A and B are shown apart, each in its own frame.
Chain A
Amino acid sequence: MKASVEKMEFAPGKWQTSVNVQDFVIKNITPYNGDASFLSGPSAKTTNLWNICKESLLKERANNGCLAIDVETISSINAFKPGYINKEDEVIVGLQTDQLLKRAMKPFGGIKLVESAVKERGLQVSDRVLDIFNYAKNHNEKVFDAYDKEIRDYRSKHILTGLPDNYARGRIIGDFRRVALYGIDQLIKFKREDHVKVDGEMNEHKVRLREEISAQISALQDMLIMAEDYGFDISQPAQNAKEAVQWVYFAYLAAVKEQDGAAMSLGNVSSFLDIYIDRDLKEGLITEDEAQELVDQFVMKLRMVRHLRPGAYDEIFGGDPTWVTECIGGMFNDGRTKVTKTSFRFLQTLYNLGASPEPNLTVLWSGDLPDGFKSFCAKVSIDTSSIQYENDDLMRTNRGSDDYGIACCVSHQEIGKSIQHFGARANLPKALLIALNGGREERGGALIMKDIPFINDEILDYDVVINAFKTSMKEVARVYAKSMYIIHYMHDKYYYERAQMALIDSDPHIDIAYGAAGISIIADSLSAIKYAKVKPIRDENGLTVDFNIEGDYPKFGNDDDRVDSIAQEITSFFINELRKHQAYKNATPTLSLLTITSNVMYGTNTGATPDGRKEGESFAPGANPMHGRDSSGAIASLNSVAKLSYNDAQDGISNTFSMIPKSLGDTREEQVTNLVNVLSGYFKQMAHHLNVNVLNRETLQDAYNHPENHPQLTIRVSGYAVNFVRLSRAHQLEVIARTFHEAM
Chain B
Amino acid sequence: MYFPLQDIEAVKLNIDDPDHLRIHSLETFGTHDGPGIRMVVFVQGCQFRCLYCQNPDTLDVKGGSLVEIEELVQRAIRQKNYFGTTGGVTVSGGEPLLQRNKLIHFFKRLHEEGINTCLDTNGRLNNHQAQELFDNTDILLLDVKHINDEIHHKLTGLTNKNTLEVAAYRESTGKPMWLRYVLVPGWTDQPEYLEEWGQYFSNYKTVERVEIIPFHQLGSQKWELLKMPYSLKDTSAPTTESKEKALQIFNKYFKNVILK
Residue numbers of A with Cβ under 8 A of B are 559, 632-637, 639, 663-667, 670, 673-674, 676-678, 680-682, 684-685, 741, 743-744
CB distance from B30 to the nearest CB of A (A): 5
Q: Which residues of the other chain, A, contact B87 by a CB distance below 8 angstroms?
A: 677
| Cα–Cα distance between A636 and B42 once the two chains are bound (Å) | 16
Q: Are A666 and B83 in contact (CB under 8 A)?
A: no
Residue of A nearest to B38 (CB): A743
Residue of B nearest to A630 (CB): B28
Q: Are A674 and B78 in contact (CB under 8 A)?
A: no
For the complex, is B26 an interface residue (Cβ under 8 Å from A)?
Answer: yes
| Cα–Cα distance between A143 and B37 once the two chains are bound (Å) | 52
Residue numbers of B with Cβ under 8 A of A are 25-32, 36-37, 39-40, 42, 75, 78-79, 81-84, 86-87, 258, 260
Q: List 28 A-B contacts (CB under 8 A).
A: A559-B28, A632-B28, A633-B28, A635-B29, A635-B39, A635-B79, A635-B82, A637-B28, A639-B79, A665-B31, A666-B258, A667-B258, A670-B31, A673-B86, A676-B84, A677-B37, A677-B82, A677-B84, A677-B86, A678-B37, A681-B82, A681-B83, A682-B82, A685-B81, A743-B27, A743-B32, A744-B40, A744-B42
Q: Which residues of the other chain, B, contact A684 by a CB distance below 8 angstroms?
A: 81
Additional A-B contact list (4), CB under 8 Å, known A633-B28, A634-B29: A559-B75, A635-B79, A681-B79, A684-B81
Q: Which residues of the other chain, B, contact A677 by a CB distance below 8 angstroms?
A: 36-37, 82-84, 86-87
With A639-B79, A666-B258, A673-B36 in contact, do A741 and B84 touch (Cβ < 8 Å)? no
Q: Are B28 and A680 in contact (CB under 8 A)?
A: no
| Cα–Cα distance between A676 and B82 once the two chains are bound (Å) | 9
Please tell me which one of the listed residues B26, B31, B36 contacts residue A632 in the complex, with CB atoms under 8 A apart.
Answer: B26
Q: Which residues of the other chain, B, contact A632 by a CB distance below 8 angstroms?
A: 26-28
Q: Are B28 and A635 in contact (CB under 8 A)?
A: yes
With A673-B86, A677-B37, A744-B40 in contact, do A663 and B78 touch (Cβ < 8 Å)? no
Q: Which residues of the other chain, A, contact B39 by a CB distance below 8 angstroms?
A: 635
Q: Are A680 and B81 in contact (CB under 8 A)?
A: yes
CB distance from B260 to the nearest CB of A (A): 6
Q: Which residues of the other chain, A, contact B86 by a CB distance below 8 angstroms?
A: 673, 677
Please tell me which one of the listed residues B27, B78, B81, B84 contacts residue A633 in the complex, with CB atoms under 8 A apart.
Answer: B27
Q: Which residues of the other chain, A, contact B258 by a CB distance below 8 angstroms?
A: 666-667
Q: Which residues of the other chain, B, contact A667 by a CB distance below 8 angstroms?
A: 258
For A635, A663, A678, A680, which residue has the most chain B Cβ atoms within 10 angstroms?
Answer: A635
Dominant secondary structure at the B interface: mixed
When A and B form their complex, which 7 residue pairs have the shortest distance between CB atoms, in order from nearest?
A681-B82, A633-B28, A634-B29, A635-B28, A681-B81, A677-B84, A636-B28
Q: Are B84 and A673 in contact (CB under 8 A)?
A: yes
With A559-B75, A635-B82, A682-B82 in contact, do A674 and B31 touch (Cβ < 8 Å)? yes
Q: Which residues of the other chain, B, contact A676 by a CB distance below 8 angstroms?
A: 84
Please tell me which one of the listed residues A634, A663, A666 contacts residue B28 in the complex, with CB atoms under 8 A apart.
Answer: A634
| Cα–Cα distance between A640 and B75 once the two chains are bound (Å) | 12
Residue of A nearest to B84 (CB): A677
Q: Which residues of the other chain, B, contact A678 by a CB distance below 8 angstroms?
A: 29, 37, 82
Please tell me which one of the listed residues B26, B30, B42, B83 contacts residue A743 in the complex, with CB atoms under 8 A apart.
Answer: B30
Q: Which residues of the other chain, B, contact A682 by a CB distance below 8 angstroms?
A: 81-82
| Cα–Cα distance between A671 and B39 once the two chains are bound (Å) | 16
Residue of B nearest to A681 (CB): B82
With A635-B37, A673-B86 in contact, do A743 and B79 touch (Cβ < 8 Å)? no
CB distance from A744 to the nearest CB of B (A): 5
CB distance from B43 to the nearest CB of A (A): 14
For B25, B32, B258, which residue has the most chain A Cβ atoms within 10 angstroms?
Answer: B32
Q: Which residues of the other chain, A, contact B31 by a CB distance below 8 angstroms?
A: 663-665, 670, 674, 743
For B26, B29, B36, which residue has the most chain A Cβ atoms within 10 angstroms?
Answer: B29
CB distance from B254 to the nearest CB of A (A): 15
Q: Are B32 and A666 in contact (CB under 8 A)?
A: yes
| Cα–Cα distance between A385 and B69 once the two chains are bound (Å) | 38
Q: Are A744 and B27 in contact (CB under 8 A)?
A: yes
With A635-B37, A667-B258, A673-B36 in contact, do A680 and B82 touch (Cβ < 8 Å)? yes
| Cα–Cα distance between A702 and B79 once the two chains are bound (Å) | 35
Residue of B nearest to A634 (CB): B29
Residue of B nearest to A666 (CB): B258
Residue of B nearest to A659 (CB): B29
Residue of A nearest to B75 (CB): A559
CB distance from A391 to the nearest CB of B (A): 13
| Cα–Cα distance between A678 and B25 once the two chains are bound (Å) | 21
| Cα–Cα distance between A663 and B78 once the two chains are bound (Å) | 21
Residue of B nearest to A633 (CB): B28
| Cα–Cα distance between A676 and B84 once the two chains are bound (Å) | 9
CB distance from A504 to the nearest CB of B (A): 37
Q: Which residues of the other chain, A, contact B42 by a CB distance below 8 angstroms?
A: 744
Q: Which residues of the other chain, B, contact A743 by a CB distance below 8 angstroms?
A: 27, 29-32
| Cα–Cα distance between A664 and B36 once the two chains are bound (Å) | 9
CB distance from A677 to the nearest CB of B (A): 4
Q: Which residues of the other chain, B, contact A665 by a CB distance below 8 angstroms?
A: 31-32
Q: Are B26 and A633 in contact (CB under 8 A)?
A: yes
Residue of B nearest to A639 (CB): B78
| Cα–Cα distance between A665 and B35 once the two chains are bound (Å) | 9
For B25, B31, B32, B87, which residue has the most chain A Cβ atoms within 10 angstroms?
Answer: B31
| Cα–Cα distance between A637 and B78 once the two chains are bound (Å) | 12
Q: Which residues of the other chain, A, contact B37 by a CB distance below 8 angstroms?
A: 635, 674, 677-678, 681
CB distance from A444 to the nearest CB of B (A): 43
| Cα–Cα distance between A681 and B40 once the two chains are bound (Å) | 17
Q: Which residues of the other chain, B, contact A744 by a CB distance below 8 angstroms?
A: 25, 27, 30, 32, 40, 42
Residue of A nearest to B82 (CB): A681
| Cα–Cα distance between A731 and B94 once the two chains are bound (Å) | 40
| Cα–Cα distance between A559 and B37 once the two chains are bound (Å) | 17
Residue of A nearest to B79 (CB): A635
| Cα–Cα distance between A666 and B35 once the two chains are bound (Å) | 10
Q: Which residues of the other chain, A, contact B79 by a CB distance below 8 angstroms?
A: 635, 639, 681
| Cα–Cα distance between A685 and B26 once the two chains are bound (Å) | 21
Q: Which residues of the other chain, B, contact A559 by a CB distance below 8 angstroms?
A: 28, 75, 78
Q: Are B36 and A674 in contact (CB under 8 A)?
A: yes
Q: Which residues of the other chain, B, contact A639 by a CB distance below 8 angstroms?
A: 28, 78-79
Q: Which residues of the other chain, B, contact A741 by a CB distance below 8 angstroms?
A: 29
CB distance from A624 to the nearest CB of B (A): 15
CB distance from A540 to the nearest CB of B (A): 41
| Cα–Cα distance between A49 and B72 once the two chains are bound (Å) | 56
Q: Which residues of the other chain, A, contact B32 by a CB distance below 8 angstroms?
A: 665-666, 743-744
CB distance from A672 to the nearest CB of B (A): 12
With A677-B37, A678-B37 in contact, do A633 and B82 touch (Cβ < 8 Å)? no
| Cα–Cα distance between A639 and B74 once the two chains are bound (Å) | 13
Residue of A nearest to B81 (CB): A681
| Cα–Cα distance between A152 and B49 once the two chains are bound (Å) | 66
| Cα–Cα distance between A684 and B258 once the two chains are bound (Å) | 31
Q: Which residues of the other chain, B, contact A674 by a CB distance below 8 angstroms?
A: 31, 36-37
Q: Which residues of the other chain, A, contact B26 by a CB distance below 8 angstroms?
A: 632-633, 636
| Cα–Cα distance between A493 and B220 once the two chains are bound (Å) | 67
| Cα–Cα distance between A225 and B6 once the two chains are bound (Å) | 87
| Cα–Cα distance between A51 and B76 once the two chains are bound (Å) | 50
Q: Which residues of the other chain, A, contact B30 by a CB distance below 8 angstroms?
A: 633, 743-744
With A681-B37, A743-B30 in contact, do A666 and B260 touch (Cβ < 8 Å)? yes
| Cα–Cα distance between A447 and B25 once the two chains are bound (Å) | 47
Residue of B nearest to A684 (CB): B81
| Cα–Cα distance between A360 and B20 once the two chains are bound (Å) | 48
Residue of B nearest to A687 (CB): B81
Q: Which residues of the other chain, A, contact B83 by a CB distance below 8 angstroms?
A: 677, 681
CB distance from A357 to the nearest CB of B (A): 26
Q: Which residues of the other chain, A, contact B40 by a CB distance below 8 angstroms?
A: 744
Residue of A nearest to B32 (CB): A743
| Cα–Cα distance between A635 and B83 once the two chains are bound (Å) | 10
Q: Which residues of the other chain, A, contact B25 by a CB distance below 8 angstroms?
A: 744
CB distance from A17 to the nearest CB of B (A): 44
Q: Which residues of the other chain, B, contact A681 by a CB distance below 8 angstroms?
A: 37, 79, 81-84
CB distance from B33 to the nearest CB of A (A): 8
Q: Which residues of the other chain, B, contact A670 by a CB distance below 8 angstroms?
A: 31
